[in-house]
Amino acid sequence: MMKEYQGQQGFSAAASEYNAQAFLLRQALLRLNTAEPVRVVAVHPGTGATGTVDVLPLVRLVTGSGEGMDQSVLFTLPYLRVQGGRNAIIIDPQPGDVGLAVYAMRDTETVKAMAGTDAGPVNPGSARSYDKGDGFYFGGFLNAQPERFVRVDDGGVTIEGVASITMHGNKTTITAENGATINADVLINGNLLVNGSITWTGTAQGKDGARARFSGGWENTGGSVTSNGITLETHTHGGVEPGNGTTGGPR
């Protein structure tokens, strides 16, 4: 047997003409979809044009008998991307994220179809207004504490918890007036030019026994040069007769 519902009309709705008009007005306002909290159930990311998400509204509908009724999933809502011109920060939403679905006042299907283009204003696809089919997703509300983040405050910029950081560009310049510190092993796949002095407290060695080669001369001041335990400045040669002659060339 089909369950009977009493509808949204209360006992006082028909008590007077004012109450009746107020009831009709409330019912009409319920058809205006403005914004509501939603949870992401699927993500369709895009590295070109902005991607979309499928979301489930988190506030149930209420029947005339006061029972809650789940809403349907809303599909392909474009999500917000921080972008200016051709420059963007891409942080795609993930399933489980909580955000806000905002519904446009006019049909936006034609506008959505032109995503990524420079087309001008267009006519609406239909006469509908404030419809859930014209939603947009804004994320970042009521979510759990992040494990990976970028924090900007008076103390500087902190990048925390990321597995790796990849930078790609034609040229990269880092300027730090008070110095820079790298607490890590460093691998450089390329040539290294140092416009200044080099100071180290450890050793320099060729990987897997590779030789160090110097060109353009090598001048050593303020210390001795030792090779395989033999000091250049103080080592001697046996079997040499004292006199005014000079030794032969190196061999």
Give the model confidence (pLDDT) of 90-127 as tens digits: 889 999 999 999 999 998 888 888 777 777 788 888 88
Q: What's the pLDDT tens digit per position in 160-207?
A: 988 888 988 899 999 999 999 999 999 999 999 999 988 989 888 888
Predicted confidence band of residue 250 (pLDDT cuts 50, 70, 90): low
Extract the tokens encoding 30. 């319920």
Name 47's Cβ contacts closer than 8 Å, sequence gap at least 6. Answer: 90
Name 179's Cβ contacts closer than 8 Å, sequence gap at least 6. Answer: none
Measured in degrees and rounded to the nearest 5, phi and psi for residue 82 equal: -75, 105
Range 25-36 average pLDDT: 80
Residue 66: pLDDT over 80 = no
Name 7's Cβ contacts closer than 8 Å, sequence gap at least 6. Answer: 64
Predicted confidence band of residue 47 (pLDDT cuts 50, 70, 90): low
> What architecture is the 33-139 domain classified under in CATH?
Beta Barrel (2.40)
pLDDT of 7? 56
Q: What is the mean pLDDT of the chain?
A: 84
Residue that wins the pLDDT comparison between 229 and 94: 94
pLDDT of 222? 79
Predicted confidence band of residue 221 (pLDDT cuts 50, 70, 90): confident
pLDDT of 2? 47
Spatial separation of the C-alpha atoms in residues 230 and 43, rounded to whole Å: 68
